[in-house]
Structure 1
Amino acid sequence: MELKEGRESNPVGSIYRELAEVEDRLKEFTASVNDSQLNEILTEAQIKLDTARLHIVEAAVRTALKDTSLSDSLIENRQDKKLFPDNISLKQALWLTEQLKEEAERLGMAVVIAIADKAARPITVQSMEEAYIASFDIALNKAFTSAALKMSTSELKSLSQPGKELYGIQNTNEGKIVIFGGGEPLIYKDTLLGGLGVSGGTESQDSALAAYGKEKLKEAFSWI
């Protein structure tokens, strides 16, 4: 790519602008593509570009501020500065759903996949063919639980056994709290973005697929 004028005097700003231009062209191209597989690849590339630009902003802050403690404080307070994503978007949720559906098909599973935002409100829910009807509400409630309590439903299971500190929690919140595997909080850089719920397989299968989705989202956000 041809370097823009001003790169020498302000390299971070120049790189940021160039990435923004690439992302704009990528979005235009993605909108014109009819091939679903290629579209998924392009969407993943867009997410990675978004994240790369956020990392560049962080680098610029650290470079501009000579006082390391002050720059660290600003980065830690990134939710207010909007330097990093603090809530999962619909585009990201739909992309993650497609990744999970592909993995479920590879494993021979038919599941319902639900994703909630950081306030535990549902963003998207999709049912694969042959998935159980009952799995729809279960997946939604797993996504709600993992976002609302900021923990996996597998972890909650151990904490809600008789004699444990959260025993009986499944009877709260109008019965929407799920205490078996298949729900995972979606976290990036220690920030809760939302919750993921998977239902349709065995408990261990749902747990494994949800954990796969959690890591897949981290991978998409990573620019390294």
Structure 2
Amino acid sequence: MKTKHYLTLSDAEFLLEQSYQYAIEYAFNVSICIVDETGSLLAMKRMDGASPMTANLALEKAKCSAISRRPSGVFENLIKNGQMGFLTMETFSGMLEGGEPILYKGQLVGAIGVSGVKSFQDAEIARFAIERFLTQVF
């Protein structure tokens, strides 16, 4: 039998706080979502000044990343390069940069989705939090 790693609520709150502090430092108003490996919401924060739309986008980016085990920006690039078939998938959305998978010891344990600034900045926030989390875990 294999050992399965997973995010605890404490882990999700740590990731959320790291993302939030990064956003504060750069004066970004964003929504941040942390999901488990199935794409189910664990924790969320919508900062003051962040558009209500960003809350849904952050969740969808996180779910996309968790379900696919890839950064959500991968799908945005595929679509930009002509693979329009992804747009027909009714059960799969959030295919915009800003969702990042959280891998621990080669296992997907969850994902972070961020929305509210430029897509590359959304992804930057998520990657920063993941890096801080993995540094803390090891």
TM-score normalised by length of structure 2 = 0.91
Residue 162 of structure 1 deviates from its aligned partner by 4.8
Q: Which has the higher helix share?
A: 1
After the TM superposition, which parts of structure 1 deviate over 6 Å for at least 4 consecutive aligned residues?
none
Kept after mapping to 1: 8 A contact 2:14/2:133: no
TM-score normalised by length of structure 1 = 0.58
Task: Determine which structure has more spread, i.e. the larger CA radius of gyration.
Answer: 1
In percent, how many aligned pairs have the same letter? 28
How many pairs does the alignment contain? 138
Q: Distance in 2 between matches of 1:155 and 1:211?
A: 15
Residue 91 of structure 1 deviates from its aligned partner by 1.0
Q: Name the residue aligned to 1:94.
A: 13
Residue 149 of structure 1 deviates from its aligned partner by 0.5
Kept after mapping to 2: 8 A contact 1:90/1:123: yes
Kept after mapping to 2: 8 A contact 1:184/1:211: yes
Gap regions ≥5 residues in structure 1: 1-79
Equivalent AA in structure 2 for residue 189 of structure 1: K
- RMSD (Å) for aligned C-alpha atoms: 1.6
Q: Distance in 1 between matches of 2:85 and 2:123?
A: 21
Residue 183 of structure 1 deviates from its aligned partner by 0.3
Q: Name the residue aligned to 1:131.
A: 50
Q: Name the residue aligned to 2:124.
A: 208
Q: Name the residue aligned to 1:35.
A: none
Kept after mapping to 2: 8 A contact 1:171/1:177: no
Q: Distance in 1 between matches of 2:131 and 2:76?
A: 21
1:168 and 2:85 matched: yes
Kept after mapping to 1: 8 A contact 2:98/2:123: yes
- CA-to-aligned-CA distance 1:117-145 (integer Å, 9 cap, x gap): 01111111111111110001000001100
Q: Name the residue aligned to 1:182.
A: 98
Q: Comparing both chains, which one has the higher relative contact order based on Cα–Cα distances under 8 Å and sequence gaps of 6 or more?
A: 2
Q: Which has the higher strand share?
A: 2
